[in-house]
């Protein structure tokens, strides 16, 4: 039976946090058992804001190690580095030329990130979602597992494939590109900041205490959770709109401890924050410890990791070149002899 194809990726910027894990990577791990899965480290996206060339390669390798440490299995999936597959940049250029500028100016993440960059906003930042569309469309992806913040980018990828490529250049009933579906699981799709339960946990937040990184030491995790914002109520509860911090921490606690939300609600109904925080801290340290151990093993001897990336590159190259060729043919490029 032909398996449906999955593609996703994370940027190698700063430290990967529990939002990236619970909103995205964790879902890839389940999908690889039943889907033809491709995951990449999107290093070309990482340079859409000012970056440090001394750190880029190492953070790229480290992000790939985190994929494996979180449970991605190279026997079941292909792991590769985006910039090693030149088809991504090439398809991005082609898509740039058929995507209306006003579609891009509507992108919420662009507007948010552009404000932070002031006068320094690059064309790359505006173009970020088109490169993401190229990533997805090159692999004929059926499903794209992401957090909620990527929903608009996924809609753009769908519109580009359906309205700008297939509708304009495909022969009737022979689409050139597959129109992908987002896969945004309700549980974990939006992990909020530890210091403000109304704000998304984010790599770019200036306040380090707002997020727990997958590689934080037990001491640092304990410190960050101690500082996490609380309220003055006794007993924690889900879904009370005036208690976003309680909802967020209970939600995270339920996922990382593997307990049903109903059981967590009962367990925490009558306990105060002072009792909950140590429970939460212990669950977090226990959940992250095997990931950190595996990560350290991989990074101490990166031979296995670099081999995984070489194999992933070969598979990615094969699939992506085929799609690129289809698009170039449909657009009428010279084919050579
Ligand atoms: P990045 O690196 O910003 O985020 C990686 C993934 O983590 C999810 N995420 C979250 N999920 C839940 N709660 C949060 N607080 C949280 N913060 C981040 C994101 O939704 C994402 O799934 N543009 C993508 C990278 C990308 C990509 C692609 C993804 C480039 N090309 C192709 C899928 C397919 C991004 O946001 O990266």
- Indicate the range of 8-12, 14-18, 39-43 predicted with least confidence: 14-18
In short, whether 201's Cβ falls inside 6 Å of ligand 1 is: yes
* Distant-in-sequence, close-in-space partners of 264: CB < 8 Å, separation ≥ 6: 238, 250, 253, 254, 257
Query: From the CB of 37, is ligand 1 less than 6 Å away?
Result: no
Q: Is 113 a catalytic residue?
A: yes
Segment 154-197, tens digit of pLDDT: 999 999 999 999 999 999 899 999 999 999 998 899 999 999 99
pLDDT at residue 204, as a whole number: 87
- Cβ count within 10 A of residue 206: 7
Give yes or no: 203 in active site: yes
Sheet holding 77-81, edge to edge: 77-81, 36-41, 5-10, 143-145, 181-183
Q: What is the pLDDT of residue 117?
A: 80
CA distances from 6 to 52, 91, 128, 212 (A): 31, 19, 20, 27
Do 46 and 56 touch, CB atoms closer than 8 A?
yes
Burial zone of 168 (CB within 10 Å; 0-12 exposed, 13-18 middle, 19+ buried):
exposed
Average pLDDT over residues 190-213: 96
In the reported structure, the alpha carbon of residue 73 is separated from the centroid of ligand 1 by a whole-number distance in angstroms of 20
Residue in 94, 146, 113, 121 with CA at minimum distance from that of residue 323? 94
Active site residue 200: yes
**pLDDT the model gives residue 113:** 84
Of 4, 55, 76, 113, which is the active-site residue?
A: 113
- Summarised one tens digit per residue, pLDDT across range 213-265 is 999 999 999 999 999 999 999 999 999 999 999 999 999 999 999 999 999 99
| Cα Rg of the chain (Å, integer) | 21
Q: pLDDT confidence of 118, banded at 50, 70, 90? A: confident
Cα 254 to ligand 1 centroid, rounded to whole Å: 21
| Cβ burial, residue 263 (10 Å; 0-12/13-18/19+) | exposed
SS3 (DSSP) at 227: helix
Determine whether the shortest distance from the Cβ of 199 to ligand 1 is under 6 A: no
């Amino acid at each position: 039976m032909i398996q449906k194809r999955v593609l996703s990726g994370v940027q190698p910027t700063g430290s990967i946090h529990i939002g990236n894990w619970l909103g995205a990577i964790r879902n890839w791990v389940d999908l690889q058992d039943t889907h033809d899965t491709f995951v990449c480290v999107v290093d070309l996206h990482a340079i859409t804001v000012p970056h440090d060339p001394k750190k880029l390669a190492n953070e790229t390798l480290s992000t790939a190690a985190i994929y494996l440490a979180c449970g991605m299995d190279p026997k079941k999936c292909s792991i590769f580095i985006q910039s090693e597959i030149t088809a991504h940049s090439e398809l991005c250029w082609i898509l740039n030329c058929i995507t209306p500028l006003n579609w891009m100016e509507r992108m919420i993440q662009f507007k948010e990130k552009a404000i932070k960059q002031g006068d320094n906003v690059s064309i790359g930042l505006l173009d970020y979602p088109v490169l993401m569309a190229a990533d997805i469309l090159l692999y004929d992806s059926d499903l794209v597992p992401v957090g909620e913040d990527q929903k608009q980018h996924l809609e753009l990828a769908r519109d580009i494939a359906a309205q700008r490529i297939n509708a304009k250049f495909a022969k009737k009933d022979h689409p050139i590109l597959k129109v992908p579906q987002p896969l945004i699981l309700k549980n974990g799709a939006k992990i909020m900041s530890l210091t403000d339960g109304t704000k998304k946990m984010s790599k770019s937040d200036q306040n380090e205490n707002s997020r727990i990184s997958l590689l934080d030491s037990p001491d640092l995790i304990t410190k960050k959770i101690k500082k996490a914002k609380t309220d003055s109520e006794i007993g924690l509860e889900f879904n009370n709109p005036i208690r976003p911090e309680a909802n967020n921490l209970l939600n995270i606690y339920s996922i990382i401890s593997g307990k049903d939300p109903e059981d967590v609600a009962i367990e925490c109904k009558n306990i105060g924050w002072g009792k909950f925080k140590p429970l939460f801290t212990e669950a977090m340290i226990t959940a992250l410890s095997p990931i950190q151990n595996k990560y350290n093993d991989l990074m101490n001897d990166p031979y296995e990791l670099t081999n995984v990336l070489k194999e992933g590159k070969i598979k990615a190259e094969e699939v992506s070149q085929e799609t690129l060729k289809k698009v170039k043919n449909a657009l009428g490029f010279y084919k050579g002899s």
